[in-house]
Structure 1
């Protein structure tokens, strides 16, 4: 059952990030249809994240209370309704409203999915399980890009959006009928804790004063600038600056996605292997992740000085793959801080990180609009993101020292 759950969560992440990324792939036709400037497009990219951090926290807390399966299924249905509703969009205000609502209902999915997977897998497999979920995000955001681009070219952007709504409905029925809430033993233990314990000021104080939570969140936050930039601006960057055609851009985005998945899954497997051998959180989780982020940020920075198309693709593969190491391993570190509040802890991480989603599209849009050349504008945004990741990954390496605890998910190894 644990693998069925993981596979369906993987496909759920594909849908989630395809919903996010299709807006970037359809940027040119949407901007032409609605007559939008770069600055207005930056607002469209940012609008998705205006409610995302808030609903992420409340949605994950709700899932801790009533069950992840119910919440994930409900969220998927709302995406279907919103994607079909795209057909009615005829102006910028309606596009912004659609993006705000989509972000609001997609906000809780990632933290709830991480928490749900965490319940099914023992510590020695947590990094791998989370890397599978993150790979679903990359597949949805990048690997399926040629298919989404082909749909946009053949049938128009509105039909392509509606097609994703149809996929959401299929996922809903599969998830409802093929999965369970959690392994029996782990579920019973969690239910008993929920009956005996309520969220207290002590829990809040622990979260607020935890250096582990703070600097893990800051590292995640810095990486999310790259996550959002890739989803919103990478397709335009490859076309406007690197000089690729729309078709070439689609395949380049897919190639970056495929290679980066192999890289950050490899980092996660190394992290799990070291944890299994040493039980050392600092070595296996912090050092492996922090060093990967530093190398990835350096690769991102290299694009500012060398724009050869082949190198840009290679550098983006390395930058995405290495900096994304915090995405699967960060939730594991956060849940370890307060295991009984797994959904809340991951939602704090992802929602705080997604604050970057509000800033990154707006900042890039205005910088590109105001810069003397598009190349200068894009280089300024790329350089700023790379330096931010360098700073926060270094702080992550120096400050974060996770505690050693046993998680209730260990019970799931036999129960599932």
Structure 2
């Protein structure tokens, strides 16, 4: 059966646009704490290590909720799961505008993290119901640009809002945005109908294939993809939490100027993610193996980004030069968030895809929970918030993670071999 049977491009891309908007909100929620770090730490009298704990707490229940909702997404339509998330995010913004103690803020961030954790695996699972395998790189990369736009807007708008109305007003604005998206999704959101089948001769009425989870979770391709995601989230957690403070405190930019530099640094990720995702999809269309078009390309991006983190520590670089190098360091590895789910979808049956992508996000996001705390400790132990070298030592932990994950993937990640462990080669057809 033709892999495009049942493919409806217009509806598929409309869903992609809506999920891109939700990704924008998701990353505004994540980054807002880092963007208001300076006035928040001053008002709540927090040290860098304490602030690192508060920032990292967002991910403490992130993994648990991601796995649970990932399994639910195998049974409950993703349309309703995404609506529930949008509503919860909007409601949970308001307490953050009101709390004034570290303990209360900590609890609020933990609950919000639990509510936001399942977004990525559920949205990817939803998209894969609309797009066949050979067309999956770009829509996921496009949704990831919602995150980039969200971070870009954060850099441009949050410092202005903070300057005009105080840091708490940012949470009120985010609550309103979340409520508007939820109403639009309730009206326009829909469920895709493409399913991926094992074997070209499988009948349309055949029961969904199941593979024991112990077999899936011991598959080297899946384990290596999890590690790649862990390294990517480690970098993301460190950057989102500490880059704004690094720009303002260590490199000496003013609050508003550092916000603009932050926006520029984040915006650099968009052309890398979209361009490398397009290149990967183009290579697949021309007959390249997934090992070449996805694995090797991703590892090359990881190692290149890691090298830029080490360049950041070279003596003699001006603040503007450091900001540009940081943009390259964070931008290149961002393609991971588009290619890693595609690698998993090559190996995992559709009926279990939501759960496996959920487990992937849960395990990967522990990197984002650990990195802010570790970087905070490194900063505090090596000169404090005014030392650029202290931050750069912390960011170097991302470089180490990226390189180790790449070496493991180059050795053990072979998606072309893995389908034999769970079934026959993949064909995509309409449900």
**TM-score, structure 1 as length reference:** 0.93
1:295 matched to which residue of 2?
Answer: 304
- 1:193 Cα deviation from its structure 2 partner: 9.8
Alignment match of 2:380 (pick from 369, 372, 375):
369
**8 Å CA contact retained: 1:335, 1:345:** no
Classify the secondary structure of the residue corresponding to 2:212.
Answer: helix
Q: How does 1:203-218 map to 2 (within 5 A)?
A: 203-218=212-227
2:7 matched to which residue of 1?
Answer: none
Q: Deviation digits for residues 108-159 of structure 1, max 9, x if unmatched? A: 0011011111221122221111111111112212344211221122111221
2:135 matched to which residue of 1?
Answer: 125
Count of paired positions? 407
2:262 matched to which residue of 1?
Answer: 253
Q: Deviation digits for residues 28-70 of structure 1, max 9, x if unmatched? A: 1111111111111011111101000110111121122111110
Alignment match of 1:358 (pick from 354, 369, 383):
369
CA change 1:239–1:177 in 2 (3 A) is: same
**8 Å CA contact retained: 2:261, 2:323:** yes
Classify the secondary structure of the residue corresponding to 1:168.
Answer: helix
- 1:260 Cα deviation from its structure 2 partner: 1.4
**8 Å CA contact retained: 1:304, 1:382:** no
Instruction: Establish whether residue 70 from structure 1 lines up as the match of residue 76 from structure 2.
Output: no
**8 Å CA contact retained: 2:70, 2:359:** no
CA change 1:86–1:339 in 2 (3 A) is: same
Distance (Å, rounded) in 2 between the aligned partners of 1:345 and 1:226: 22
1:89 matched to which residue of 2?
Answer: 99
RMSD of aligned alpha carbons: 2.2
Distance (Å, rounded) in 2 between the aligned partners of 1:194 and 1:346: 25
Classify the secondary structure of the residue corresponding to 2:100.
Answer: coil
Distance (Å, rounded) in 2 between the aligned partners of 1:273 and 1:299: 27
Instruction: Establish whether residue 39 from structure 1 lines up as the match of residue 49 from structure 2.
Output: yes
Distance (Å, rounded) in 2 between the aligned partners of 1:194 and 1:151: 55
- 1:188 Cα deviation from its structure 2 partner: 12
Distance (Å, rounded) in 2 between the aligned partners of 1:300 and 1:381: 10
Distance (Å, rounded) in 2 between the aligned partners of 1:88 and 1:244: 29
Distance (Å, rounded) in 2 between the aligned partners of 1:31 and 1:208: 41
- 1:186 Cα deviation from its structure 2 partner: 4.0
Q: Deviation digits for residues 159-187 of structure 1, max 9, x if unmatched? A: 1111111111111111121121113x649
Distance (Å, rounded) in 2 between the aligned partners of 1:85 and 1:188: 45
* Unpaired stretches in structure 2, ≥5 consecutive residues: 1-10
Q: Which has the higher helix share?
A: 1
**8 Å CA contact retained: 2:237, 2:369:** no
Classify the secondary structure of the residue corresponding to 1:50.
Answer: coil
Moved more, 276-285 or 305-314: 305-314
Alignment match of 2:404 (pick from 387, 391, 411):
391
CA change 1:245–1:63 in 2 (3 A) is: same
2:3 matched to which residue of 1?
Answer: none
Alignment match of 1:231 (pick from 221, 240, 244):
240
**8 Å CA contact retained: 2:127, 2:139:** yes
Distance (Å, rounded) in 1 between the aligned partners of 2:56 and 2:133: 35
